[in-house]
Amino acid sequence: MKQNITLSLDRDVLKKAKVLAAKKDLSVTRLLAEELTKMVYEDDQYESSRRRAIARLKKGVHLGGLTVNRRDDLHERR
């Protein structure tokens, strides 16, 4: 479901936004809607990637090295 918003912009910014939108054959409304949608999508992707990366870091990675024994096992004292 779509919902309208009201936006106040500086007059010079609005003029430049109209030119930019015209270059892309879009209305200013459509230009802003597409850009905001893109920003939200990219933020969602970033957060998703961040959560996956943190989970991988917490899990750790075995790089194939030897298992380190405890000091007491290596230097068994009798």
Encode pLDDT of 12-57 as tens digits. 999 999 999 999 999 999 999 999 999 999 999 999 999 999 999 9
Domain boundaries, the chain: 11-58
DSSP 40: H
Output the pLDDT for position 78: 53
Supply the angle between the helices 28-59 and 11-23 in degrees, to the nearest 10.
90
Structure tokens at 45: 């992707």
- What tokens appear for 66 in the block? 């030897």
